[in-house]
Amino acid sequence: MGPDWYCDEVIPGRVDVEVLARTEHTLAFRPPLPGFGTDHVIVIPTRHVASLLDLDDDLAVELLATVKKVAARAVDEHGGCQVLTTLGDEQHNKHLHWHVAVGAGVARFVSRA
């Protein structure tokens, strides 16, 4: 994977992905090799934005609406999901991306009540 796999490969259509949602400035798709979970969707802006810390407010509204749509579908189909993004050294691809994931491999938090 290059420095910006999303801009270099996904957005121009050089890699085949299953598109679930597309808006003027966002794209939601299932990656060819799911990173985790039994159902894994990635949501990205279609122009380069390095991370959440670089996201402008106008694009944030559209991007979050796409994340919300994908997450609602996951909740309807699976009963729940995990939505996350990473920053800094934890970010393997320096293009803002949100993971919406369901099932085995997502973080589980145990209640200590």
Q: What's the pLDDT score for residue 111?
A: 62
What's this model's pTM, rounded to 2 decimal places?
A: 0.89
Instruction: Check residue 109 and give its pLDDT.
Output: 65
Instruction: Taking the CA atoms of 92, 40, 48 and 4 in sequence, report the sign of the dihedral they define.
Output: positive
CB 68 within 8 A of CB 23: no
Q: Which residues, at least 6 apart from 103, have a Cβ–Cβ distance to it below 8 Å?
A: 37, 38, 39, 78
- The Cα 98–Cα 84 span in angstroms is 6
In this predicted structure, what is the pLDDT of residue 5? 85
CATH class of 5-102: alpha beta
Query: What is the H or E stretch that residue 57 is in?
Result: helix 57-78
Structure confidence at residue 1 (pLDDT): 45
Which parts of the chain sit beneath pLDDT 50? 1
